[in-house]
Structure 1
Amino acid sequence: MSLPRVVIAAPASGQGKTTVATGLMAALTDRGTRVSPFKVGPDYIDPGYHGLAAGRPGRNLDPFLTGEDLIAPLLLHGSHGADLAVIEGVMGLFDGRLGTGGFASTAHVARLLDAPVILVVDARHASRSIGALVHGMATFDPTVRVAGVILNQVGSPRHAKEARDAVGLPVLGVLPRNLAIEAPSRHLGLVPAAERDDAGIRAIGEAVAAHVDLDAVAALAHTAPAIDALPWDPTAVVRQAGPLRPRVAVAGGRAFTFRYPETEELLVAAGCEPIEFDPLTADALPEDTAALWIGGGFPEMHADRLAANRSLRADIASAVAAGLPTVAECAGLLYLCDSLDGEQMAGALPGTAAMTGRLTMGYREATTERATLLGRPGERVTGHEFHRTATVTTGDPAWLLDGRPDGVASATLSASYLHVHWAGHPRLAQRFADAAHAFAADPTTWAPTPWAAPTPPEKAPAEPDLLHHGDRDLAPGLTDLAVNVRQPHTPDWLVRAITDDADWAAYPDPEPARQAIAAHHGVAAEMVLPVAGAAEAFTLIARAIHGDALVIHPQFTEPEAALLAAGRTPRRHLLRPEEGFRLDPAAVPAAELIVVGNPTNPTGVLHSRDALLALRAGTLVVDEAFLDAVVGEPETLIAPEMPGILVLRSLTKTWALAGIRAGYVVGDPALVASLAAQQPPWSVSSPAVAATVACLAPERAAEAAALALEARVARADLVARLTGIGLDPVEGEAPFVLVDTSPIARHSLRADLADRGLAVRRGETFPGLGPTWLRLAVRDPHTHQRLVEAITQIKEHHAG
């Protein structure tokens, strides 16, 4: 996507970045440019000034808080409808998290966004030496493009000329010394914009317009290349947890000004209705409040007025005590305490808070040893701490901040000094919204969903072998019911196409396959990527699609194996046998990447299109490897428009092509392009290209439909015979059957069946299944009868 953009940086703090950046935003806005304002780092105050200047919310870009992968998507999200983005840096250009080589610095963000940098330099104490300073900043890291300079605090025209002549980059502006345009500060930085009118902002904009070449700044912003990313979408990372729209009371006003815009956007996407109230003036929480969110700010500056609002304090204390889902960050923690600097606060938490002479500031990694409203053991949350107060509280801590206990939390409360950018941790927003939905449904009976801790490692069941496939259960002399290839031999016409039509002497060209796939499904060619089977597709997805991953099991094990091979640890969501392994979208946790099969291998269950679409939280990957074996291919997600969706298909099973490895991906063009960027050259062989073209030719449609009908009849036959001996196969549509043989024996029948000449796929190789489960490929009635007779013999043997 194309977005003109520029980063305003400086050699160090105190050089005038905020003045220049805010002035540029105001000046450009005043002349009709729609400016999207951003701040590098966890700052809340500067974005407030940016918002006043640009007339739209100021937002933050911080790789530590949200991860590197979200920086460009968050920029594009915040720039919707804008003409140009102005991004104010943090500290010195190359200053980031200590000990990390500049991670989360302004330079880091500029690199991630491929944005030109304008360096603001305070010239009060130098003239020609400024040239050396700028030269060093511009050449220190060649991957950062310092493209222009604005000189600030210049004393005279002669001073300006001396400095300008020494600088080897375009000087886009010279600001004279003028304290009237500086924002006032206090103990945590600038005074928040909510406590000032915008007259000062207008004055800063007028000064910048008078002394900076706005046309040159805009021209420089237009040199930024297009961004290869999609805008962040809150509806893709959280889901609505119920039919109601629970009201979330959000503290605001002059005392509570710190919150990221994405927080409320996530709550709205999760089906909530944020309602702002001012703790300085509101008599009570908003009517029908189902959850409470209190962010940061300066309650110490307004402690007397907060204390005087007795009715609200009492309302909040009783609501929190009654289990109202509540999140309080920093200032919110102080307000929930009994007192702050001796002034009475809400009294919802037993403890006191007071100002100190010590500034506590820095990035934090937060963990918890127990389940709370927001936290779960084993999870890591990144955040930021910034305050000059200290609290003395009782109760279990909300977080361990780099191992240090902080705050207070329970199943309905999380109160801590930690500021968290929920765009980087949407599961926290989901948990809070879920609690709000549950409370709104019935506040008299609501209780947090019990959280089941993972089984201790020493008691954990053995992990399935994710690299086990059906061919591993074969052996010479065994009849194959383990491998899901439908035909015993590749059709003659297909063999001829592979051997005669493929140019084996030339490097493979996948384009004919791409065009054939696009024509077959009625989609654009840029939505298609031929691959060397589903295994390659899952490897590409694990490398290209970032973020929190969730695999819905039991299903084909290759997706999880590929994610683990890529150094990622996906979560699992297990479908339950007592529910027929049916998909309940409301029960599936939100994740940035969700993988599910349809029909699912090994259950054979065919999920509805609507249920699958309800899972779209980030990227949804649907493995439709067996859908061409289902009559009419119902519930497919392949369509002319597939935002956020990737569908995998295989030609292996229907056309007996296991040795060729022919498959493809259809989906969102941007996601398909990201997979293609990871694919090695010539991974799809010439025989696979020829096979794809031949199998998807229009004249093969009738044959494919007949094979699907054959599979349906064969499946029904196998199900009937298994049911006839007292087993209960899982209801499904795929050319295989999953059945629990525990009525026969409490162990796997695989070895017993092998002794009788039959190979079956063992269930314990799939997450969520035990050894008594078997997956059986459908074959002919004679083979099915051999199978049930063998199972009957085993049953009689065990009974005897």
Structure 2
Amino acid sequence: MALPRVLVAAPASGHGKTTIAVGIMAALSRRGLVVSPAKVGPDYIDPGYHALATGRPSRTLDPWLVGEERVAPLLARGATHPVAADVAVLEGVMGLLDGRLGTDGFASSAHVAALTRTPVVLVVDISSTSRTVAATVLGLTRIDSALEVVGVVLNKAGTPRHGAEARRAVEGVGVPVWGVLPRDAAMHVPSRHLGLVPAAERGRAAATLDHIAGVAEEHLDLDALLAAAADAPPLQTTPWSPAQALGREPATLPDDAPVVAVAGGRAFTFRYPETVELVEAAGARVVEVDPARDTVLPERTCGLYLGGGFPEVHARALATNRELVGQIGAAVAAGMPTVAECAGMLYLAESLDDHPMIGSLPARAAMGRRLTLGYREGVSLTDSVLGPAGTTVTGHEFHRTTTDPPAGTSAAWRLGERDEGFALDPAGTGRATLIASYLHTHWAGSPAVAASFVDAVSEHDRTSTRRGAGGVDPTQGSTRAPLRRADVLTRDSPREPKGHPSRTAPTRGTSPSGAGASQETPVDPLRHHGDAEVAEELVDLAVNVRLEQPPAWLAAALRDELDAVAAYPDPTAARDALAARHGLRREQVLPTSGGAEAFTLLARALRPLDPVVVHPQFTEPEAALRAAGHEIRRVLLRADEGFALTPSALAEIGGADLVVVGNPTNPTGVLHPADVLRSLARPGRVLLVDEAFVDAVPHEAETLLTGDLDGVLVVRSLTKTWAVAGVRAGYLAGDPELVAALAAHQPHWSVGSLALRVMTETATPRALAEAGRAAQETAVWRRHLLDGLHALGVPTAGADAPFVLAQVGTGVHAALRDAGWAVRRGDTFPGLDPTWVRVAVRDPLTVDGLLRELGHLLHRRTA
């Protein structure tokens, strides 16, 4: 068959072949071409980006996993199913010649290129070289006569001159250069402990992909690449067929075919497309189930396949789905045929990093220090739903977790010199119905396994039918704990806070209760913070810190700073860095020990006669003013007006000589227009704007630090975006006379060396670019949360902060805690009542878990 095709390879890992390959796929797709993606090697993550770029599943081409004879047919399958492709783009693995150890490159990119007679495009990182790159390219073009290197892409050029030098050198040895790409941090795809973050988990994956495609179109000679692809010789094979692999004729599934539930969603992203195709060809219907969102298994489920993914990253979200956890546990215990590979095994364990899981396996799992990686040949140790004892499969391991099965537990596979996994028969059927292991297998290489599994599923279906069940009954198997509060099902009908006949209300200090953080009991709003809502066993959506730990470069800088902590801190460098970051003078900026110190300095330095705090908003400014003896007047913004600074609200501020307002406001998430805020500045008045979260707004829209600052003070915090809440890094900026007045009340050395280092490091162009990308990602994640809440009929306020204010109803806050979810109580902010909660924006999978639980609660209310 004629198939234009190229294989993107590199001299080693880390040269950027994934980014370039995905960029080529996306750019060609934007031209209107149908692109068939493929990946060399046992990889699940890169194919996710391939599918995002092309709209088609990516085929894994691995001679070890599927056999040499199936590599070309699987490539042809991808290029013809569901419709014929115009071109195939294959991404290599590791270095061009790197394959299984001890086999002279078996299963390497070069091996697959030779098996499929595919021309090779080399991607070479030139960031640390220039002309020497020509020697690398020349060597790779000559080392194997079966390879045809048709072009080179030079990646990460420091300057145009640097790129031109490397281009001349490579072209001088007779190899065409099809593009030189500059260093571009936005082309970097984030990584975690097993490699790239899956596309399904990346909120900004589509936006990043669009950017990468644009860079590819700008810098690569795609026409030359397509011409070389078109010159590839005909592929001497016929497309792989799942039915033929099983020795059967293609057939349409009957309506009463048994159902195999396959784990999907953002926590279970790793599976080969051929697995699903083989199961369906063998006679079962595949239905995806998302363990983070779905509360029941699909109707008539008679088999379960749990593939790979990252449940360790989302363990709490999975654990809180108690109804599905209970149903899966009951189904497995009843003998439902179940295959769990790696992540699926962790999900079935008793616990994962101390988070309770399903408990079908007698083992606990936890993250470890060592990466286990490699090809394996497995021999089954017992009769099971995958075949008789002695069944042989090829696969690979790829994990950083460990399990601790008790001695004597029946293992699934003999892997060389060791036994691994679980082969259990919980219902006493006479063979193992539960196979769980770290071993990932590609069923195209072992189609008999798929046939045996579906035969077992069909038998389970017949047995269940004889018992009168007909597969899983979605109403059975729930272990959800009963809700402890009857009023969770009563949501107040008003859409705005009650009990506030006027916007303004004089207030005086009260004694902090310090109690009730986790219960629906009164608390002092001015002394309550989101961290009081959090407990070890809860999923944290109460605290607005973006990351679990600082970025690696910032953590390294802080470790470096520890060498200098014997000296007293000097704020000069930090003050200059912050001033330069905003285009201000040094005297307009003052580093502080977080935003809290800025508010305390304000309360000590000023003597306002009529201070106004605009609520609902962060309570620390009012708490500081009260502590200094000031009597505060509140202006309460209304929910039915979108918590906006309306003309009537501005009028009620009246002649106040100090106005405190947040932007975007915590907790409403409302981003007030800068022009409206500037209208509050006037002679004789100090305007304090709390911009603690404006760095989470794309382009820092509506900040007041870009214009006239007479009479204006702006408070910034660095702790949320950079996950350094324990360091307490913030600053204030604005009118130099006001800054000087506040500085006069600041104790010597109140800002420590670590906090000052945070200020200098996060003011660099690199850090600002990273913060900008994070703000864009947060915006995507926030939209996911907002869309989900609105689909449940939950009113929200604001849409411009890393949190969302939602009116969920009376008692829902406590019910969510009972179900394992921590959100911030709304009535801990002046102007809000208990029907409101503030939800921190998190990754979509965590949000999906919250929406699942909230939907269950609201459904119970209306049932």
* TM-score, structure 2 normalization: 0.51
Task: Encode CA deviations 1:137-186: one digit per residue, 9 max, x unaligned.
Answer: 11111111111100000112211121111112000111111011111000
Would you say 1:433 and 2:454 are equivalent positions? Answer: yes
Which residue does 1:20 correspond to in 2?
20
Identify if the C-alpha distance between structure 1 residues 262 and 74 changes in structure 2 by more than 3 Å, giving closer, same or farther: same
Which residue does 1:336 correspond to in 2?
348
1:229-268 equivalences in 2 (<5 Å):
229-238=237-246, 239=248, 244-268=256-280
Match among 401, 413, 417 for residue 415 of structure 2: 401
- Rounded Cα–Cα distance in structure 2 between residues aligned with 1:375 and 1:122: 47
- Rounded Cα–Cα distance in structure 2 between residues aligned with 1:416 and 1:76: 31
1:72-111 equivalences in 2 (<5 Å):
72-80=72-80, 81-111=84-114
Secondary structure in 1 matching 2:314:
helix
Identify if the C-alpha distance between structure 1 residues 343 and 370 changes in structure 2 by more than 3 Å, giving closer, same or farther: same
Would you say 1:287 and 2:299 are equivalent positions? Answer: yes
Match among 282, 285, 299 for residue 270 of structure 1: 282
- Rounded Cα–Cα distance in structure 2 between residues aligned with 1:205 and 1:123: 21
Q: Which amino acid aligns with 2:380?
A: T
Which residue does 1:7 correspond to in 2?
7
Which residue does 1:424 correspond to in 2?
445
Please say if residues 241 and 270 of structure 1, whose CA atoms lie closer than 8 Å, have aligned partners that are also in contact: no
Match among 113, 116, 133 for residue 113 of structure 1: 116
Q: Structure 1: which 5+ runs fail to align? A: 447-800
Matched residues, percent identical?
Answer: 58
Match among 219, 225, 242 for residue 211 of structure 1: 219
Would you say 1:201 and 2:209 are equivalent positions? Answer: yes
1:555-566 equivalences in 2 (<5 Å):
none
Would you say 1:369 and 2:370 are equivalent positions? Answer: no
Please say if residues 382 and 412 of structure 2, whose CA atoms lie closer than 8 Å, have aligned partners that are also in contact: no
Identify if the C-alpha distance between structure 1 residues 425 and 175 changes in structure 2 by more than 3 Å, giving closer, same or farther: same
Please say if residues 242 and 437 of structure 1, whose CA atoms lie closer than 8 Å, have aligned partners that are also in contact: no
Match among 123, 135, 144 for residue 147 of structure 2: 144
Please say if residues 373 and 409 of structure 1, whose CA atoms lie closer than 8 Å, have aligned partners that are also in contact: no
- Rounded Cα–Cα distance in structure 1 between residues aligned with 2:421 and 2:387: 13
Please say if residues 59 and 261 of structure 1, whose CA atoms lie closer than 8 Å, have aligned partners that are also in contact: yes
Match among 163, 176, 186 for residue 182 of structure 2: 176
Please say if residues 360 and 388 of structure 1, whose CA atoms lie closer than 8 Å, have aligned partners that are also in contact: yes
Please say if residues 290 and 436 of structure 1, whose CA atoms lie closer than 8 Å, have aligned partners that are also in contact: yes
TM-aligned CA deviation for residue 376 of structure 1:
2.9
TM-aligned CA deviation for residue 348 of structure 1:
1.1
Q: Which amino acid aligns with 1:298?
A: F
Q: Which amino acid aligns with 2:258?
A: P
Task: Encode CA deviations 1:310-349: one digit per residue, 9 max, x unaligned.
Answer: 1111111110010001000000000001100000001111
Please say if residues 241 and 433 of structure 1, whose CA atoms lie closer than 8 Å, have aligned partners that are also in contact: no
- Rounded Cα–Cα distance in structure 2 between residues aligned with 1:38 and 1:212: 20
Match among 351, 354, 375 for residue 363 of structure 2: 351
Match among 414, 435, 438 for residue 435 of structure 2: 414
Match among 314, 319, 325 for residue 331 of structure 2: 319
TM-aligned CA deviation for residue 198 of structure 1:
0.9
Task: Encode CA deviations 1:228-286: one digit per residue, 9 max, x unaligned.
Answer: 11100001122489964111111111111000011101111111111111101111211
TM-aligned CA deviation for residue 77 of structure 1:
0.3
- Rounded Cα–Cα distance in structure 2 between residues aligned with 1:32 and 1:286: 37
Would you say 1:49 and 2:49 are equivalent positions? Answer: yes
- Rounded Cα–Cα distance in structure 2 between residues aligned with 1:368 and 1:241: 32
Q: Which amino acid aligns with 2:323?
A: S
- Rounded Cα–Cα distance in structure 2 between residues aligned with 1:79 and 1:66: 18
1:497-646 equivalences in 2 (<5 Å):
none
Would you say 1:131 and 2:147 are equivalent positions? Answer: no
Task: Encode CA deviations 1:411-458: one digit per residue, 9 max, x unaligned.
Answer: 211110000000110001101111111112232669xxxxxxxxxxxx
Q: Which amino acid aligns with 2:215?
A: A
Secondary structure in 2 matching 1:221:
helix
- Rounded Cα–Cα distance in structure 1 between residues aligned with 2:69 and 2:373: 25
Secondary structure in 2 matching 1:300:
coil
Q: Which amino acid aligns with 1:425?
A: S
TM-aligned CA deviation for residue 304 of structure 1:
0.6
Task: Encode CA deviations 1:496-527: one digit per residue, 9 max, x unaligned.
Answer: xxxxxxxxxxxxxxxxxxxxxxxxxxxxxxxx
- Rounded Cα–Cα distance in structure 2 between residues aligned with 1:75 and 1:67: 13
Would you say 1:190 and 2:196 are equivalent positions? Answer: yes
Please say if residues 241 and 437 of structure 1, whose CA atoms lie closer than 8 Å, have aligned partners that are also in contact: no
Match among 415, 425, 442 for residue 463 of structure 2: 442
- Rounded Cα–Cα distance in structure 2 between residues aligned with 1:353 and 1:141: 44
- Rounded Cα–Cα distance in structure 2 between residues aligned with 1:170 and 1:76: 28
- Rounded Cα–Cα distance in structure 2 between residues aligned with 1:445 and 1:241: 25
Which residue does 1:483 correspond to in 2?
none
Q: Which amino acid aligns with 1:46?
A: D
- Rounded Cα–Cα distance in structure 2 between residues aligned with 1:68 and 1:34: 26
- Rounded Cα–Cα distance in structure 2 between residues aligned with 1:249 and 1:361: 28
Which residue does 1:226 correspond to in 2?
234
Q: Structure 2: which 5+ runs fail to align? A: 425-431, 468-863
* TM-score, structure 1 normalization: 0.55
Please say if residues 398 and 409 of structure 1, whose CA atoms lie closer than 8 Å, have aligned partners that are also in contact: yes
Counting matched residue pairs gives: 446
- Rounded Cα–Cα distance in structure 2 between residues aligned with 1:338 and 1:369: 23
Please say if residues 300 and 341 of structure 1, whose CA atoms lie closer than 8 Å, have aligned partners that are also in contact: yes
Q: Which amino acid aligns with 1:55?
A: G
TM-aligned CA deviation for residue 368 of structure 1:
2.2
Task: Encode CA deviations 1:390-431: one digit per residue, 9 max, x unaligned.
Answer: 111242111112231111014211110000000110001101
Secondary structure in 1 matching 2:336:
coil
TM-aligned CA deviation for residue 27 of structure 1:
0.1
